[in-house]
Each structure stands twice: as structure tokens, then as C-alpha cells.
């Protein structure tokens, strides 16, 4: 039996700030076998990314340094190597895929050139040879037209294709070890399945050893050979995935497993809000034959009759007071455009949106006034959604002052009550977003939405970037607020398991159209549209024996006419 390709022994990483020393990674030890996929799991701040940055000696700050231990690769201790030698190790022996490809791909450099650059530098190829090699790598990672797409820029691709390009850049130097840092966090379940399938195929074809950093135990169960669980810089558990998933040795591992959202088996119990199908109850939100078109990108800015693309095409929907409706679909299906149109943030091309009976198309000023005071939105990125220069208290005070429903002397008390509602300590009123975790910032964002006393909240991918345990807390918070305040919730997500556990009803969108709609129990148990079935099958399952889906959700034959909408057991006044 051959030995491991990488051995980490008692790795310690420390930081020194203002004379105070803190241990970030505390004597972590593990091995990575040849051709093995190791899953590093744990919450944000557990040390997953820090360990992997330490492996290639690219720590995020000069104040952070390796304080002890060894990293053995090919008979050499990487800890003892100087920077010149490490430059040869990075890329050639250890490649890295980052979480956000948009931030790590050069926006003004063609995709193919970014791949060829590493080939020329590390393998000494000429320009023509490097181009041929780069085209071959683009083909390996699933680009449909690699010759043509070599000359495209990152902004011309979807998130999934940019992630493939990031993988291609990492593979350009033919590394022995590939580190993938949350490579599928912000991707749809279908694109996620494609990327994971790609990593498995590359492992099989190239004999790669892979360290996969993730917070999704479903991904770990279906792709990894072994699991290492981290918390607060310490390795709590490490072993084969079946043993760790079936018989966790540490209580923290067990809590992570319980936090994983999954699709319940048929007949499973789930708390669902019962909305009375009373014909006298008026929908809070009515959408009729809504169309939203955008100009097709192009260079001719002054052409009057430019082609226009329908982001939302003939959508009709009713949402009753107190109902939770999930909207699911791939990127580009029109989910977020629909949400922005409902709030009056995107112009309507045709159709009607009525909020409490006011028509946005015909009574725009009146309807917008209602929406500004009775509807609110919670955004995907909790950090970018908050003003970094305002404390949480100042942010909430600003909203309350603009709304004008709270007297100046009562604003402080109202801020405290809002923080109580989202289960944040009142001391957070003096905190800046940068001093808070992602989950805490998202709670502050929900408090800001609640400050307008809304009847409707639209949550747009609001848990996509959060750890599974934090996701569960935010979902429970929404469920509690909905019950206590009779909130109506439109929940946009690419995680169908979360939608199944939170929402009463689900709407499935495909290329700007609704292709299926119904109660969650019915749709998830027996989807009637092939696209819905493909989305459900692409959800990573915590069962390690369930095969990873291919992730191809495109219908085998594209319909010439719009897809037939499947509606069943809908609560509607029609």
C-alpha cells in the first residue's frame, strides 16, 4: 500500500495583533491519500480555508503565520521552504479553486489566456502550444465550444461556467493536489451537481487528490471518501465518510447532521401554515400575465428597435395573506426579476401587478407608496446589503425616521424591540456589520425589513451563503415571525430542501415562465413536469449510497410553445 501524498502533522497557525497572540489552527493532523477526496466541513470561522491557505503558504495577512508543525509533500516539508521554492509548488503540485470565481478571474483578460498563462509559465510552452493545451483543458471541464470560448471574457459566462473556467485555470499546471474552497456555494443545485460531477471525473481521469471545503454535508456524502470536521481551529473528528455520517463520535458532528435540510420521505411530518381557501379572502398579491423584457446586450446603443429578451414571460400568480410561497428555478429563470418587478424596482413591459388591490401598472404612484410601507426585501449577501459605515442601531433608526410611524423619542425602544424579534442582543445596536458574523448580519437585515411593519417580505436567496446551522436558525426565525406577525413570505431559493421545509406552496420557473405550481407536499412527492423532477433529483442527499446526479436539467426537446403550467390544489380566488 502506497503512503499518503500529503501529511499534515500538528499544524498550528497563529496571529499577533497589538501584542496579543491568538491560535487560529490548533495542532491539526491528517493525511490525504492518492486519488482521495477529503471533505473539510465546519461552520464559518472553523479554520477550513485557513488550513488550505497554510498548505500553499498564502495566509491572508502578514500578522498571521504558521506557528508550528509540518506539511509533508513528496518528501519535503513545505513549512521550511522559502518563497522562491513555494512558487514552483503552487500550481504545479497544489492547485486551488476559490469560492467566488468572479473575484479571482481577471475581468479584462480572456478566459483562454488566463489558462494559457499558467501553462507557459510552469511548462515552458510557446504561445501556440499553450493555446492548444488550454483549449483541450476547456474541453475537459465541459465548455461546449472551447475553440471559440477561449477568446471570451469572464463576464460573458454564467456563474457555473465561470466556476468551470476557475477549475481550468487550476488544472492548467497539471497539479497533483486540488484544493476546492466552497466551489458550489452560490450555485443552483443543477449547476452544483455538474461541478461536483466534473471534479469526480477529473479525479478519475487524472488521479487527482482533492481537498473539498464545504458546509453542505449532502455534497460531502455524495462526493468525498473521508470527512474531517473542524471547529474553532481544532480537528474534532476524521474518518471514512460512512462511519462519520452514520456514527458520529463528536456531539458537534451530530449537530451538523441534524441541521442538514433534506427532502422528507413521503408521509413525513412538516409544519405547514393552513391558509383558508375562503372565496371572500382577497389575495394580498395578484400577478396577471406579467412580461418584463430587457434589451439584448450589444454594441449598437442607438438602434431604436433593438432585440429584447423576456426575463419574465407571461407569469400569473396569486399569493394569499399569511402564505409562504417558494420560488425556485435555475439562474436566469426570472426569479429575482419577478421579485424586483413586484416591488416596482424593474419596469413592467406588460401585464398587471396588484398589491392589496392597487395596480402597479395603472396606479403606479399609489401602489409604490403602499409597497414602500407594507413590503420589504431581504437580500442574498448579508454584508453587502448593510451600510458598512452605520451601526445596526443607526441603520434601523434611519428606516424608522423615513417611515415616520415612530416618534423620535420612541425610536430607541423600537430598535430594541426589533432586535428582540430577530433574536439579537440589544447590544448589537452599537455594532458595525464588519464585527458581526454572516448569520448575525442576516438577522439585522431581517430586522431592517421588519422596521416598516410589512405585510409582505420577499427573501431573495437570503440563506445561500450561510452555514447549514445558521441556515436552520434563519429558517426557524422566518417560521416564527410568520406565525407571530401573520407575515406573507415570498421565498426565492435554489435550495429546494429549504423551500420544502419552510413554504406552503412552491412555484417552479423555467426561462421566465412558471412551469409548475402547487402545494409543496404534492409537487415534491409527485412532480408533474420533467424540469421539476430534474431539479429535485439534483439535490445532494446525505445518504452516501445515493449516486450524484449528472445535473443536466435541460429538457430533451425544447417545446415550441410555452411549457404547460401544471397547477394543483392551489389556494386562489379565481
3-state secondary structure 239-268: EEHHHHHHCCCCHHHHHHHHHCCCCCCCCC
Please count the structural domains in the chain: 3
Residue 312 lies in a domain: yes
pLDDT for 3 equals 76
Residue 163 and residue 185 in one domain = no
What would the pLDDT profile of 521-532 be if each residue is shown by its tens digit?
899 889 989 888
Domain coverage including residue 328: 285-384+454-568
pLDDT for 517 equals 92
Residue 554 and residue 464 in one domain = yes
Residue 400 lies in a domain: no
pLDDT for 550 equals 61
Residue 190 and residue 307 in one domain = no
Residues with Cβ within 8 Å of 271's Cβ and at least 6 positions away in sequence, in order, are 479
- Count of C-beta atoms within a 10 Å radius of residue 52: 18
Residues with Cβ within 8 Å of 365's Cβ and at least 6 positions away in sequence, in order, are none
Residue 428 lies in a domain: no
Residue 126 and residue 39 in one domain = no
**Alpha helix (H) residue ranges in 260-309:** none
Residue 202 and residue 351 in one domain = no
Stated pTM of the model: 0.74
The last residue of a domain, from among 174, 196, 221 = 174
Residue 125 and residue 185 in one domain = no
Residue 183 and residue 143 in one domain = no
Q: Compute mean pLDDT per 10 residues along the chain, 574 residues long, and list them.
A: 84 86 92 93 85 90 90 91 88 83 86 91 87 90 87 81 85 88 76 82 88 85 92 93 91 84 49 48 91 69 62 92 91 86 91 92 91 88 85 93 87 93 90 83 90 91 77 86 89 84 91 91 90 82 72 46 46 36
The whole-angstrom separation of Cα 333 and Cα 324 is 20
Q: Can you spell out the DSSP letters for 173-192?
A: T--SEEEEESTTTTS-HHHH
The whole-angstrom separation of Cα 533 and Cα 539 is 11
Task: Report whether 349 contacts 291 (CB < 8 A).
Answer: yes
- CA distances 297 to 8, 96, 155, 306, 465, Å, are 50, 33, 12, 9, 29
Residue 188 and residue 170 in one domain = no
**What's phi and psi for 558, nearest 5 deg?**
-70, 130
Residue 72 and residue 192 in one domain = yes
The last residue of a domain, from among 174, 206, 227 = 174
Q: Is 420 left (phi over 0), alpha (psi -120 to 50) or beta?
A: alpha
pLDDT for 477 equals 87
The whole-angstrom separation of Cα 138 and Cα 100 is 19
Task: Identify the H or E element spanning 210.
Answer: strand 209-213
Quick check: helix, strand or coil at residue 410? helix
- CA distances 410 to 207, 355, 407, 430, Å, are 65, 30, 5, 17
Residue 203 and residue 312 in one domain = no
Residue 111 lies in a domain: yes
- CA distances 404 to 386, 398, 410, Å, are 21, 10, 11
Residue 559 and residue 545 in one domain = yes
Residue 185 and residue 156 in one domain = no
Q: Closest by alpha carbon to 488, among 349, 329, 281?
A: 281
Residue 446 lies in a domain: no
What would the pLDDT profile of 417-468 be if each residue is shown by its tens digit?
999 988 889 999 999 988 887 778 888 999 999 998 899 999 988 887 677 7
Residue 120 lies in a domain: yes
Residue 449 lies in a domain: no
Within 13 Å, how many C-alpha atoms sit on residue 434's CB side?
A: 4
The DSSP 8-state label assigned to residue 90 in this structure reads B
72: domain CATH number? 3.40.50.300
Q: Which long-range contacts (CB under 8 A, 24 or more apart) does 501-505 make?
A: 501/261, 501/264, 501/270, 501/475, 502/324, 502/326, 502/475, 502/478, 503/324, 503/325, 503/326, 504/272, 504/273, 504/275, 504/323, 504/324, 504/325, 505/323, 505/324, 505/325, 505/326, 505/570, 505/571
The last residue of a domain, from among 226, 244, 260 = 260
Residue 246 lies in a domain: yes
Amino acid at each position: 500500500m502506497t503512503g499518503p501524498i500529503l501529511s499534515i502533522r500538528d499544524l498550528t497557525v497563529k496571529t499577533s495583533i497589538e501584542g496579543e497572540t491568538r491560535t487560529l489552527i490548533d495542532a491539526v493532523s491528517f493525511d490525504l491519500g492518492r486519488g482521495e477526496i477529503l471533505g473539510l466541513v465546519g461552520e464559518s470561522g472553523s479554520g477550513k480555508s485557513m488550513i488550505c491557505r497554510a498548505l500553499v503558504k498564502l495566509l491572508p495577512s502578514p500578522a498571521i503565520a504558521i506557528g508550528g508543525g509540518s506539511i509533508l509533500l513528496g518528501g519535503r516539508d513545505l513549512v521550511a521552504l522559502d518563497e522562491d521554492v513555494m512558487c514552483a509548488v503552487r500550481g504545479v503540485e497544489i492547485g486551488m479553486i476559490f469560492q467566488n470565481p468572479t473575484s479571482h478571474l481577471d475581468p479584462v483578460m480572456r478566459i483562454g489566456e488566463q489558462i494559457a498563462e499558467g501553462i507557459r509559465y510552469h511548462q515552458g510552452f510557446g504561445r501556440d502550444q499553450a493555446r492548444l493545451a488550454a483549449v483541450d483543458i476547456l474541453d475537459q471541464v465541459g465548455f461546449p465550444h472551447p475553440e471559440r470560448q477561449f477568446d471570451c471574457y469572464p463576464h460573458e459566462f454564467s456563474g457555473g461556467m465561470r466556476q468551470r473556467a476557475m477549475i481550468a485555470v487550476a488544472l492548467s499546471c497539471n497539479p497533483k493536489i486540488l484544493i476546492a474552497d466552497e466551489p458550489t456555494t452560490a450555485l443552483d443545485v443543477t449547476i452544483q451537481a455538474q461541478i461536483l460531477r466534473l471534479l469526480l471525473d477529473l479525479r478519475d481521469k487524472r488521479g487527482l487528490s482533492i481537498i473539498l471545503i464545504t458546509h453542505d454535508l449532502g455534497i460531502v456524502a455524495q462526493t468525498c471518501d473521508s470527512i474531517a470536521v473542524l471547529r474553532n481551529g481544532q480537528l474534532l473528528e476524521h474518518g471514512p465518510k460512512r462511519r462519520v455520517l452514520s456514527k458520529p463520535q463528536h456531539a458537534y458532528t451530530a449537530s451538523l447532521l441534524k441541521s442538514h435540510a433534506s427532502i422528507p420521505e413521503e408521509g413525513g411530518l412538516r409544519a405547514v401554515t393552513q391558509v383558508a381557501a375562503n372565496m371572500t379572502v382577497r389575495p394580498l398579491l395578484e400577478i396577471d400575465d406579467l412580461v418584463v423584457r430587457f434589451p439584448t446586450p450589444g454594441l449598437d446603443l442607438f438602434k431604436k428597435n433593438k432585440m429584447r429578451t423576456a426575463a419574465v414571460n407571461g407569469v400569473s400568480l396569486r399569493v394569499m395573506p399569511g402564505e409562504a410561497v417558494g420560488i425556485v428555478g435555475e439562474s436566469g429563470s426570472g426569479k429575482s426579476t419577478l421579485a424586483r418587478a413586484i416591488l416596482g424596482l424593474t419596469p413592467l413591459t406588460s401585464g398587471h401587478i396588484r398589491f392589496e388591490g392597487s395596480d402597479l401598472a395603472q396606479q403606479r404612484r399609489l401602489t409604490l407608496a403602499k409597497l414602500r410601507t407594507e413590503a420589504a426585501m431581504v437580500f442574498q449577501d448579508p454584508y453587502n446589503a448593510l451600510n458598512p459605515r452605520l451601526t445596526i442601531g443607526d441603520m434601523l433608526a434611519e428606516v424608522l425616521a423615513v417611515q415616520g410611524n415612530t416618534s423620535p423619542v420612541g425610536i430607541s425602544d423600537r430598535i430594541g424591540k426589533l432586535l428582540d424579534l430577530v433574536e439579537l442582543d440589544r447590544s448589537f445596536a452599537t455594532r458595525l456589520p464588519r464585527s458581526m458574523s454572516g448569520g448575525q448580519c442576516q438577522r439585522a437585515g431581517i430586522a431592517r425589513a421588519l422596521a416598516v411593519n410589512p405585510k409582505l417580505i420577499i427573501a431573495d436567496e437570503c440563506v445561500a451563503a450561510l452555514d447549514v446551522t445558521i441556515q436552520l436558525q434563519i429558517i426557524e426565525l422566518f417560521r416564527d415571525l410568520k406565525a407571530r406577525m401573520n407575515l406573507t413570505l415570498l421565498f426565492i431559493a435554489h435550495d429546494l430542501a429549504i423551500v420544502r421545509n419552510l413554504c406552503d406552496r412552491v412555484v417552479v420557473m423555467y426561462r421566465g415562465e412558471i412551469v409548475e405550481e402547487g402545494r409543496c407536499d404534492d409537487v415534491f412527492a409527485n412532480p408533474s413536469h420533467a424540469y421539476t423532477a430534474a431539479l429535485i433529483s439534483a439535490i445532494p442527499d446525505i445518504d452516501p449510497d445515493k449516486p450524484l446526479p449528472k445535473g443536466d436539467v435541460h429538457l430533451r426537446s425544447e417545446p415550441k410553445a410555452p411549457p404547460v403550467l401544471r397547477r394543483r390544489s392551489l389556494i386562489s380566488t379565481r
